[in-house]
Amino acid sequence: MAHQQHGFLEGHAESTPAWAAVAAVVAMLVGWLFWRLFSVSPESQGKLPVPPGSFKWPLLGETLDYLDCARRNRVADFFNARVAKYGETFKTHILFNPTVSVAAPDGNKFLFANENKLVQNHWPPSVSRLLGEHSMATKVGEEHRRARRVYTNFFKPEGLQSFVPRIDELARSHNSKYWEGKEFILGGPTVRDFTFAVAADLFLSLKHDDPMFRPFELAACDYLAGILQVPINLPGTAYRKGILGRESQLRVIDMSLKQRRQEMKEGRVPPQQDLMSVLLNTLNEDGTPMSDDQIKDNMLLFVFAGHDTSSSALAGLLKYLSLNPECLKKVLEEQMEIRKEKGGEDIPLSWDDTRKMKYTWRTIQETLRLQPSVQAAFRTVIEEFEYDGYTIPKGWTIFWSVGRSHRNPKFFPDPEKFDPSRFEGTGPAPFTFVPFGGGPHICPGNEFARTEILVYIHYLVLNYEWEMVDPTEDVCIDPMPLFTKQLQLRVRKRFPSL
């Protein structure tokens, strides 16, 4: 289908500019009408005013300003400028929706508590199309609750414990292949390869040496490139690249699905071998099996969410440990003690071992405070309500930024300092640290991410030393934190090997 569409576009190359111009004019007019519609003053209806702010341009609003700040890792600048001008609660217009930004922690608490009452989970059009109509991430209300129950069972600690040996084996082999004997590595792609290998193995038993692994991984990169892009599905656009990446991944998942169904029919694989096996054994509430489309859309979701967010966090951890040797020393001491208790390096880690890595986990939390993998989330207003002295109209979008509280000195003194001790004891105040979201849509895979990062860093710190080639290397957001030079690291073998 993609090939046929491409040919059609080539055959009509001469008429494309004219039609594109007409489409652009129509889009601008429609955007202007919506802008006028949502600009109706509630005061004229005897209500509280909408929050102050600017919609700027029809249709586009302040989208380009926001994306520019995001890609330069300056999202805080976007919010701080508007907070200084309008106050903590303000309106803007991004990603084709009139939008309100609310401050943490009160705004976070309000949104999480009122999910499916006043607000519902919302994705921009480009993201919804790429996720797919059957994806759990696009479901709301009771549909989301039912879908989430299936995946929560897979990711709960009781289920994850059995997968720790597989993660351990992957971490050992990956470090041996990508770190052993190297003087320089690109840390970003290196850790991404590991987290993708874990996701591919645990979710659909696709091994690193399988001929389909590399094409599947490359398609996942293309898929990510389309997230949070202007949804123009034309050749050469980032969004088109994302659509093609989605289609390529679905073909691999479909082949694996057919193979797994046959293997299960013949009794050659256990019912809990991986996420795909679990889904094939799952019945909907009406007693019918999950459809192939349901399984494929959700396999795609968890492969995406299960490796990109983890790789971003792991790359950030390598950076901050490199820049903070006193913290790295404490992590090393903790991991040495765990190895000593186990009686040697040949004994694989267990689930209980990862629960002992308390200081290491605090360094991961502090990394997620400074460099959260997911920068923001959206909720659509399903019932008009009043908040902070303003009317929030039905149909608008609520945009909450993780970083608005994570770097706020009121909640985290000296916020630019890397300080894992912030998470000792009871840790930060409620609703100020939200790297995994909250409410009904809190990330179901947070324990999975925690486990794979802890296992990986255990073997890394015991066997290798690393430092950033450029300690000032920038990070851009597209749509997750990415190092602009791919995190160039200088590597040395740790002697003696611990």
- Binding-site members are 443
Which alpha helices (DSSP H) does 39-140 contain, by range? 63-71, 75-86, 106-113, 125-131
Write the burial class of residue 297 (CB in 10 Å: 0-12 exposed, 13-18 middle, 19+ buried).
Answer: buried
Residues 102 and 104: their CA atoms lie apart, in Å, by 7
Q: Annotated binding site for heme: which residue ranges?
A: 443
**Residue-by-residue DSSP string for 291-320:** PHHHHHHHHHHHHHHTTHHHHHHHHHHHHH
Residues 18 and 127: their CA atoms lie apart, in Å, by 28
Residues 126 and 275: their CA atoms lie apart, in Å, by 26
**Residue-by-residue DSSP string for 103-124:** -TTHHHHHHHHTBTTTEEEE--
Instruction: Give the neighbor-by-neighbor strand order of the sheet with 184-186.
Output: 184-186, 488-493, 464-468
Helix, coil or strand: residue 287? coil
Residues 160 and 94: their CA atoms lie apart, in Å, by 38
Contact indicator for 447, 310 with CB cutoff of 8 Å: no
Contact indicator for 319, 487 with CB cutoff of 8 Å: yes
User: How many residues comprise the chain?
Assistant: 498
Write the burial class of residue 253 (CB in 10 Å: 0-12 exposed, 13-18 middle, 19+ buried).
Answer: buried
**Residue-by-residue DSSP string for 222-280:** HHHHTTTS----STTSHHHHHHHHHHHHHHHHHHHHHHHHHHHHTT-S-TTSSHHHHHH
The pair of structure tokens assigned to 373 is 């993998």
DSSP designation for 398: E
Q: How far is CA 346 from the centre of its chain?
A: 33
Write the burial class of residue 444 (CB in 10 Å: 0-12 exposed, 13-18 middle, 19+ buried).
Answer: buried
Q: For residue 114, report the phi and psi dihedrals to the nearest 5 degrees.
A: -110, 15
